Amino acid sequence: MRTMKYKYVMLSTQEDETAKYFYEKLGYRRIGAFLPPEQDADEIMYLKTLE
């Protein structure tokens, strides 16, 4: 993505999944959350700035 000149990466994962710890370890920061009607847990939104 850096070679394609992207400045940001966004992704999401459910609050009750361990993937959130992996993303945070890689430098993603939590920017919000929402609860989709078909889910039992919040969907967390993450953002990472590419340098």
Task: Please give the model's pTM, rounded to 2 decimal places.
Answer: 0.88
Q: Residue 32 has what pLDDT?
A: 98
**pLDDT at 51 (0 to 100):** 84
Q: What is the residue type of 48?
A: K
Tokens at residue 48, please? Answer: 């990472």
Rounded to the nearest angstrom, the gap between the alpha carbon of residue 23 and the centroid of all alpha carbons in its chain is 7
In the chain, domain spans = 8-49
Low-confidence ranges of the chain (pLDDT < 70): none
In terms of Cα–Cα distance, which of 30, 20, 27 is closest to 49? 27
Q: What is the pLDDT of residue 13?
A: 97
